[in-house]
């Protein structure tokens, strides 16, 4: 299927590993001009060697000034942005009682405010051409209880933000949606680490919690992202789409 993404300028945060890297590969297959953002230059360079033709930007997405500089440099290099994928994210802490308040701030900065800030910057550019797509990578645990509380809270906020921004900018030709993955396995991800440390417990979780009987792959999330970014998904506005092998317990 031709998704009409050839020549589109795509920026992906957290693009050097896992879901972000898989998403970069899928956009490149469609002929898009792909750029990825990461914190570690060596990892970015290794990904650039693996995915020939992509551009790399080193930035700490936790830092507001670095986000500003990143976006300004990206526009200086590419003039426009067609697709922004806010993929960067991660969890910290433990229970509410045992997690320092500072960890809550960190989780919100990393998972939520970084996406809010970059989305605001992207929208200003997209409005000029009345065209664009923003996709926020959230989690099924932003829609229901589960996962670490700091992560759960931040992803819930991001899903809510997605809907608010989507209704605000759709009449200006910009679509905003979110993809909510379930448990995803990749080489340097959380579930691979848990499998290495506790194979029995991880296998029991898999059998108990995921009807599909396996973990998802980064490519399966990436394929959903690329479709949602395309005009083939033109009637998707403010949606939060579970991609989870049936793991979510919600009816919607």
Which residue among 57, 110, 151, 227 is the active-site one?
151
Neighbour tally for 75: CB within 10 Å: 17
Instruction: Tell me whether residue 110 is one of the annotated catalytic residues.
Output: no
CA 247 to chain centre: 19
- DSSP of the chain: ---S-TT-EEEEETTTSHHHHHHHHHHHHTT-EEEEEES-HHHHHHHHHHSTT-EEEE--TT-HHHHHHHHHHHHHHHS--SEEEE--------STTTS-HHHHHHHHIIIIIHHHHHHHHHHHHHHHHT-EEEEEE--GGGTSS-S-HHHHHHHHHHHHHHHHHHHHHGGGTEEEEEEEE--B--TTSHHHHHHHH-HHHHHHHHHHH-TTSS-B-HHHHHHHHHHHHSGGGTT--S-EEEESTT------
In total, the chain counts a number of residues equal to 252
Can you say how many angstroms the Cα of residue 143 is from the centroid of all Cα atoms in its chain?
15
Catalytic site positions: 151
């Amino acid at each position: 299927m031709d998704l009409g993404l050839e020549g589109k300028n795509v920026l992906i945060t957290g693009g050097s590993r896992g879901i972000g890297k898989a998403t970069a590969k899928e956009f490149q297959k469609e002929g898009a001009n792909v750029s990825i953002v990461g914190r570690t230059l060596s990892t970015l360079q290794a990904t650039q060697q693996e995915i020939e033709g992509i551009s790399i930007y080193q930035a700490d997405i936790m830092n507001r000034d670095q986000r500003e500089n990143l976006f300004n440099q990206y526009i200086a290099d590419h003039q426009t942005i067609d697709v922004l994928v806010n993929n960067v994210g991660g969890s910290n802490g433990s229970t509410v009682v045992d997690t320092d308040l500072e960890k809550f701030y960190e989780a919100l900065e990393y998972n939520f405010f970084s996406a809010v800030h970059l989305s605001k910057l992207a929208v200003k550019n997209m409005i000029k051409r009345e065209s664009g797509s923003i996709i926020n990578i959230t989690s099924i645990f932003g829609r229901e209880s589960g996962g670490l509380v700091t992560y759960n809270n931040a992803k819930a906020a991001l899903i809510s933000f997605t809907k608010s921004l989507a209704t605000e900018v759709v009449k200006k030709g910009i679509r905003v949606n979110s993809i909510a993955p379930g448990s995803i396995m990749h080489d340097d991800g959380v579930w691979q680490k848990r499998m290495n440390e506790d194979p029995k417990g991880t296998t029991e979780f898999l059998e108990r919690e995921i009807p599909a009987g396996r973990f998802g792959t980064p490519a399966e999330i990436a394929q959903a992202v690329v479709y949602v970014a395309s005009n083939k998904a033109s009637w998707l506005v403010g949606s939060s789409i579970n991609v989870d092998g049936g793991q979510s317990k919600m009816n919607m």
